Structure 1
């Protein structure tokens, strides 16, 4: 994306002209200081007159120079062409300076004096004009380069934020259909075994769907932990209809954390993975632990989901347990939290063969 043609912001333009005015004032004061040979009122007044007469054309032409420099900056010509344009600009700048001086001298002192002054300083004034042009043009170019870099950085940050938001939406979209697909399969299986249980499952499933649709309809970025836990309880009730006494759930919830805010559908996938991989494959079943607490160090919400299943090799966290057809990829969940909290949320995984599986989340809370 090209930002060369983007108009400068009003605040940036104001700063530029304040800076230009300050530079002109500084040059004027330095010229006065250089022109005062000895202390005294008349010497200072004479130096002020000399400084004003010497500098006013350059100061006035410098203002007109800004649109020219901005046009060259916007077109981004090749270096040889750009140098030629600046050389022509310096020549015109010097000529314009002399014309202004000539007109002022003619008005104040007459044509004869103006002509003599012009002839005497023709070459020297052109050289000085080229030097002044170079200084002013370089300063304006530096300011424009800075503005372009700042606009580019802002646009890049906006693009990155938009990309992160789109990726976050895509990840959330992957999680929701996965849950729906697994739950529908569960209800279908129940209809073949127990119609009464299937009816109860459908009622719970409809409550879960309302939660999912509500978060989508309201474009909710955060829900309370209490609402998410209600959703998880409905899910676990469905799984209990399928697994019966093989599924045990251990709750350890700090009441002070129930109104904390988390992204919707962020806890349920962890519980689903624990059930699908830690409990369901084992004949004797197993237990799932769900804990919430306040981290005393920084006040973040600490969530923990663990099971006592077979676990896995930590080096194989991207294999079926976390990314296969029966489970939800923890890498997607990790990426979701990284995008949603800009690196302020943490997620750790603890597992080993025959040692269960545990996921810890630390979610920052706004004060």
Structure 2
């Protein structure tokens, strides 16, 4: 049990909880002593006598017990071995009994004289030694358990805070990857367009400027949320740019439930999936293809269901996590977009959001999202 005193013992010293617990234990012991020795039928004077005896007998142990708390803290802060700690506790238990006997003897000497004090000392020497060890053990064990429990709670809290900070840092890193990924691919599209149609490229650059503003505005925090309607507008602009390059080969089927348009989602959640369908499902095919974008209210849990699907060549599901060789004649659909979204949802929603992929060679590619609201 080795802890840095600077980090573990300081909060205990400024906290009154251990002292309040000890005071409550002392009061309970005193009350039990009084109740055990009281015969209520004998009247008030007998009750007062028992109260007097309880106070006289217990006050030395209670006073000495208050020293045990800082002693236990000191031992725990030293990081001693088990054998050394046990030996020190045994010595302190004997010392506790001796000091209890000394305080009891002094009290009797002052109140009743030397003869009475020596007589009581002779009668209670062994009993005081045994009870001193028992009481010390009980007090030391209680304080140790209390300190360890509070230390464990602080450690658990610190671990949870560190894990949360790590998750936020990773989430920010993922968001930082998604934004340049989108920008890089869109700029490639614009470069290709300038060679094919400079006038269309100029109009596309103006549209791209608005898209860039959306990306920069949503990069303030990894935990930002945007309305689905804003993300849809962003995706429409992106698809408009791609249609300048692909023309009639790019078809889009929008199936949006108006009741879901104000639902909140992380920014750039929909666009990477649409981009994935454009690059892998539509662009490689001479005949082009159709992308279907669906938003619905989940009837069971009131979450947001999103679907992005295309009728492209699809791929082997076993190759989704392998960015290497092609699967079924097509490149597997991995990369920053899909993988980052999976990790983002796992972090951002504590594992509650879901991302599922449905695909097979020749059967298209569909991604279903469920985002809690």
1:11 and 1:291 map into 2 onto residues whose CA distance is 59
Q: What are the ranges of 5 or more consecutive residues in structure 1 without an aligned counterpart?
A: none
TM-score norm. by structure 2 comes to: 0.90
Matches within 5 A, 1:318-329: 318-320=321-323, 324=334, 327-329=335-337
State the Cα deviation string for residues 124-168 of structure 1 (Å, max 9, x = none): 312211111001000110111111111111111111111111111
Change (3 A) 1:218 1:332: closer
The CA distance in 2 between the partners of 1:40 and 1:334, in whole Å, is 79
Ranges in structure 2 where 5+ consecutive residues have no aligned partner: 324-330
Q: 1:77 to 1:217 in 2, by over 3 A?
A: same
- CA 33–322 in structure 1, closer or farther in 2 if over 3 Å, else same: farther
- Choose from 344, 364, 370 the match for 1:362: 370
Cα distance, 1:189 vs structure 2:
0.8
- What TM-score does the superposition give when structure 1 sets the normalisation length? 0.91
Partner of 1:247: 250
- Partner of 1:293 in structure 2? 296
> C-alpha separation between the residues in 2 aligned to 1:282 and 1:12?
71
Q: Which residue of structure 2 aligns with residue 222 of structure 1? A: 225
2:168 to 165, 172, 177: 165
CA 1:94/1:2 → structure 2, altered by over 3 Å: closer, same or farther?
closer
Partner of 1:51: 54
Contact 1:322 1:329 in 2 (8 A): no
Q: Does 1:343 align with 2:348?
A: no
Give the structure 2 partner of residue 312 of structure 1: 315
1:40 is matched with which residue?
Answer: 42
Aligned residue in 1 for 2:131? 128
Aligned length: 363
Distance 1:108 1:2, change over 3 A: closer
SS in structure 2 opposite 1:290?
strand
Comparing 313-322 with 8-17, greater Cα deviation is found at 8-17
2:341 alignment counterpart: 333
Residue 11 to residue 83, structure 1, CA distance change in 2 (3 Å): closer
Aligned to 2:328: none
1: distance between equivalents of 2:220 and 2:72? 51
Q: 2:158 and 2:246 mapped to 1: Cα distance? A: 52
CA distance in 2, matches of 1:99, 1:207: 86
- CA deviation profile, 1:152-193 (whole Å, cap 9, x unmatched): 111111111111111111222222111111111111111111
User: How much does 1:16 deviate?
Assistant: 3.1
Which of 24, 27, 30 aligns to 1:28? It is 30
Instruction: Write the distance in 2 (CA, Å) between the matches of 1:190 and 1:196.
Output: 9
Q: 1:323 deviation in Å?
A: 5.5
SS at match of 2:361: coil
**SS of aligned partner of 1:216:** coil
Answer yes or no: is the 8 Å Cα contact 2:172–2:221 preserved in 1: no
Compared CA separation, residues 337 and 3, structure 1 to 2 (3 A): farther
Runs of 4+ displaced beyond 6 Å: none
Q: Does the C-alpha gap of structure 1 residues 144 and 323 become closer, same or farther in structure 2, counting only changes over 3 Å?
A: farther
Structure 2 residue 82 is matched with structure 1 residue 79:
yes
Match of 1:263 among 255, 263, 266: 266
Task: State the Cα deviation string for residues 219-244 of structure 1 (Å, max 9, x = none).
Answer: 66111111111211111111111101
SS in 2 for 1:89: helix
Between the aligned partners of 1:243 and 1:3, the Cα distance in structure 2 is: 65
